[in-house]
Amino acid sequence: MKTTRGILLTVCLLTLAGLSLPAFGATPIRVVAAIPDFAAIAEAIGGGDVNAESIIVGNRDVHAVELLPSFFMRIRKAQVYIKVGMDLDLWSQQLIDGSRNARLVVVDVSSRITPLEVPTFKVDRSYGDLHRFGNPHYWLDPAATRPMVEAILAGLLAVAPDKAGAFRANAEAYIAAFEAKSARWRERLAPHKGARLVSFHRSWPYFGRHFELEFVGELEPKPGVPPTPTHIAAMQELLRSGTVAAILMESYFDDRVPQMLARTTGVPLVKVPVLVGAEPAATTREAMFELIVEGLANALQRGGSMAP
């Protein structure tokens, strides 16, 4: 009897709680995203009707994730999973398979993206372990916002078709606000069109295309392979040639080699977050791009003023 009363009480309380919410009696859609950037988009689309969390939290390498038992539990209870795709997050597939959630709607955001750098040759292990299906770092392309939002919107509507009106309106408002900021970033970097940059990892082809910046080398000899002495020496020579304006490094890497190269060559080093939440100030996608664009623009301006 006690149990029944407990259940009844819970039901009553839930009903009361439901009545006090603007969305009548609705529980938020449970979303798990591979990266925080997609969780942020899902929550922007959902307003208060989506509760999104991400597998990666903080300043982490997106290619390698240690799978914790709690991740499987979270996905077992989720309604939508949002993956990066293009084999960047092979761990996502392991999580999806292992969570045995037959009703889970899986969104592969990369399915809406036209990939860059798809290998035209047969890829073997000598190519490095990553980027075998093209470059997967498309979320660093401000212009990919619309396709990313549309992919995530479709996933949310698959579980909540009744929310189509509100979710579509939220999605359009999010895109419009983002594009307004994006136009300012383009203006900010416009004086530096054609600047040649070196990065740590090959994260930037989409970003480079958007802002018309040329990425001419990476400190990793191959994606996922740490810098070797021979490769570091070659990069040092390239940086000393005077043709590279800055080193743009993803903040999740160890910065000892890039610091040494900046010190010995005089080329400025810019360390930036490549995920929402990777730095305390990168609270949203907009804030993250602001940090990347401002950091880069400031370094390029300094470099420009030093030129003869």
Query: CB 135 → Zn ion: shortest distance, Å?
Result: 7
Query: CB 223 → Zn ion: shortest distance, Å?
Result: 5
* Separation between Cα atoms, residue 89 and residue 84, nearest integer Å: 6
Q: Closer to Zn ion at the Cβ: 78 or 130?
A: 130
Q: Closer to Zn ion at the Cβ: 116 or 166?
A: 116
Query: CB 234 → Zn ion: shortest distance, Å?
Result: 20
What are the beta bridge partners of residue 54? Answer: 33
Query: CB 185 → Zn ion: shortest distance, Å?
Result: 22
**Considering CB under 5 A, how many residues would be counted as binding Zn ion?**
1
Pair 137, 113: CB distance under 8 Å? no
Which of positions 120-139 make contact with Zn ion (CB under 5 A)? Answer: 130
* Separation between Cα atoms, residue 206 and residue 148, nearest integer Å: 14
Alpha-carbon distances of 307 from 7, 242, 275, 295, 300, rounded to whole Å:
74, 10, 33, 19, 11
Residue 77 identity: K
Rg of the chain on CA atoms, in Å: 22
Pair 288, 282: CB distance under 8 Å? yes
Residue 45 identity: I
User: Binding pattern to Zn ion, positions 164-183, x when CB under 5 A?
Assistant: --------------------
* Separation between Cα atoms, residue 80 and residue 96, nearest integer Å: 10
Query: CB 8 → Zn ion: shortest distance, Å?
Result: 53
State which residue has the least CB distance to Zn ion: 130
Q: Closer to Zn ion at the Cβ: 79 or 135?
A: 135
Residues forming contacts to Zn ion in the complex (CB under 5 A) are 130
